[in-house]
Amino acid sequence: MMPHPHPTVDVSAEAMIEDLRTLVEVESPSRDLTALRTSAEAVAAVIERRLGGRAVLVESDAGPHVHWSGGGDPKVLILGHHDTVFPLGTLERRPFTVADGRATGPGVFDMLGGLVQAIHGLAMTEDRSGVEILVTADEEVGSHSSRALIEERALACGAVLVCEGAAEGGALKTGRKGCGTFEVSVTGRASHAGLEPAAGVNALIEAAHQVLDIAALGRPGIGTTVTPTVASAGTLDNVVPAEATVIVDVRVESADEKERIEAAFAALAPHLDEAEIEVRGAVGRPPMPESAAAGLFAVAQRLLPGIEATAVGGGSDGNFTAALGVPTLDGLGAVGGGAHADHEYVVIDAMTERARLIAGLVHALQQPEETASQ
């Protein structure tokens, strides 16, 4: 058992499963404001029951964020989100279940299990001063309404623990690619495909040219992937299409590549006479450099010898805080897998260990002089 500092209560897997069931059974798809309000209220209730104090709902146009503070000078921000990718009705098809050492259900791994572990880990500590919890409502759709609040509290606290699910094998996440979505809209001119095709400007053909140009922007050797993912065009089978749209997923490992990609999209030019192109989007989440996690990961290794770290391609709100230069350690959430998929699961036996790791990190961050000397 990993040691933990000055516990008031030991951590209970049964109590964590109880709270995880409560949160999973309140469905919370991004952009469903009614569902997200109910979810935020459920998260706040769990926090208040386990930690005391008051969890405040912070209103936004994406739904309520939940903020709790242990008082005192801010020293550490525990960061997570309560929105999920699953539409209403998923729970009926895939109810919360505990079997064979795993908990399953929509959102258990991404990231309700991590929230529960963080709350119970903090409940173990005698001193919660300087600790804040921020649980946002829009991480799965870009964090547009929450980014400013995340950055404000991260800068105020000076250290961030992100309770997103662990990497494969339970590894912590010390680096993430920057990521973003671009939308390329093509405008042409409709005409009859049989009587006068030359009178039109074929937006689908222009979009095909653009897809090839866009795909050529990738540099996988240095971690830059540029992947057209969704395309649409046309109205009827005998009409030259007047409009087309291409959606592109972008991942980068460096700020230089972020700038190069954004400039390249801005410079896209039509191949067909009279075709027009409009580009929207950006690499909205900057890369999370591994340097931002180095100090905190060293503390985690002392608390849990043998724990590993890795860099991953997916983004989180930790990208924002790390890009500000705030020490940020990610992947502190549930051990499991299947994020965004029907086989999503959490390993129950790992939950207590991860809760104790949060408790130990919080204790270390509350005593920076002691941490620095270790």
Each residue's pLDDT, cut to its tens digit, for the chain (374 residues) gives 454 454 556 889 999 999 999 999 999 999 999 999 999 999 999 999 999 999 999 999 999 999 999 999 999 999 999 999 999 999 999 999 999 999 999 999 999 999 999 999 999 999 999 999 999 999 999 999 999 999 999 999 999 999 999 999 999 999 999 999 999 999 999 999 999 999 999 999 999 999 999 999 999 999 999 999 999 999 999 999 999 999 999 999 999 999 999 999 999 999 999 999 999 999 999 999 999 999 999 999 999 999 999 999 989 999 999 999 999 999 999 999 999 999 999 999 999 999 999 999 999 999 866 544 44
Q: Rounded to 5 degrees, what angle do the CA atoms 328, 334, 337 make?
A: 110
Residues 6+ positions from 193 with CB-CB distance below 8 Å? 200, 237, 238, 239, 240
243 neighbors 276 (Cβ within 8 angstroms) = no
The DSSP code for 109 is I
The DSSP code for 48 is H
What pLDDT does 6 receive? 47
Q: Which of 83, 164, 257, 344 is catalytic?
A: 83
What pLDDT does 264 receive? 98
Reply yes or no on whether 138 is catalytic: no
Residues 6+ positions from 369 with CB-CB distance below 8 Å? none
- DSSP states along 226-272: EEEEEEEE-SSTTB---EEEEEEEEEESSHHHHHHHHHHHHT---SS
CA nearest to 348, candidates 170, 3, 162, 100: 100
- Please give the C-alpha separations between residue 226 and each of 210, 211, 221, 289, 340, in angstroms, as whole numbers: 13, 10, 12, 20, 21
274 neighbors 188 (Cβ within 8 angstroms) = yes
Reply yes or no on whether 100 is catalytic: no
Q: Which of 27, 110, 138, 139 is catalytic?
A: 139
Can you tell me the distance from the alpha carbon of 118 to that of 112, in angstroms, rounded to the nearest whole number? 10
β-strand pairing of 243-252 with 328-329: unpaired
98 neighbors 17 (Cβ within 8 angstroms) = yes
Domains parsed from the chain with CATH numbers: 13-176+288-373 (3.40.630.10), 178-285 (3.30.70.360)
What pLDDT does 4 receive? 47
- Please give the C-alpha separations between residue 318 and each of 257, 322, 336, in angstroms, as whole numbers: 19, 6, 20
Query: Alpha-carbon dihedral of residues 363, 333, 41, 89, nearest 10 degrees?
Result: -170
What pLDDT does 10 receive? 80
